[in-house]
Amino acid sequence: MPARILLVRHGQTEWSRSGRHTGRTDIPLTEEGRRTALLLGERLAGGPWQGLPDAEVRTSPLRRASETAALAGFGARAKEWDALLEWDYGDYEGLTPAQLQERQPGFHIWRDGVPGGEPLAGLAARTDEVVDWARSADRDVLVFAHGHVLRTLGARWLGQDPAFAASLRLDPASLSVLGWAYGAPAIERWNDTGHLG
């Protein structure tokens, strides 16, 4: 069977709790974020995952992702990879969607982009690199990263335009699995938070 890619969005931070765009600002998990990372680890340690003993593990170097990986039990196996960094929101770093609507009524990040930040095409190119790596693996891979980069990765896995990611919601500490159906890329599981009770 071809390799799958398991995606984990990091646990809650103060900024994710309040809806602030958190790109390259390196902030830690909240207590709730740490609690849910531990619950995720318990889930991956049990069936059907059994700790994913053969999986190759990568993480964004930002601490909210690497801390989630460590608390879930994968810190010693995880290699940091800049391709998994969150979208650089430039001038919109730290702003909420409501604040962006005040500045620019009708604003839609997947259509309008981010001034002073990373073009959507640049984000897509980074996620294409991750997709190529995952598809070339001879075993499952597990990545710990951020909401918008993982949503874009999901879109690119499916061969969709990066803006398709607008339709792929991801909650903190969620688990998603990208795999195959009838020989074509498919979503096996998306935004699964069953382990959070």
Q: What is the pLDDT of residue 3?
A: 87
CATH number at residue 110: 3.40.50.1240
Tens-place pLDDT, residues 135-164 = 998 999 999 999 999 999 999 999 999 999
Residue range of the domain that includes 95: 5-196
Q: Determine the angle formed by the axes of helices 63-71 and 31-45, rounding to 10 degrees.
A: 50
The reply to whether 67 belongs to the active site is no
Q: Which of 10, 21, 146, 148 is catalytic?
A: 10
Is 10 catalytic? The answer is yes
Contact 130, 155 (CB under 8 A): no
Confidence of residue 29 (pLDDT cuts 50, 70, 90): very high
Is a pLDDT exceeding 80 seen at residue 2?
no
Number of domains in the chain: 1
Contact 66, 34 (CB under 8 A): no
pTM for the full model?
0.97
Q: Is the pLDDT of residue 13 over 80?
A: yes
Q: What is the pLDDT of residues 56-84, one digit of tens each?
A: 999 999 999 999 999 999 999 999 999 99
Rounded (10°) angle between helices 147-157 and 120-136: 60
Mean pLDDT, the chain, whole residue set: 96
Choose the catalytic residue: 67, 86, 93, 118. 86
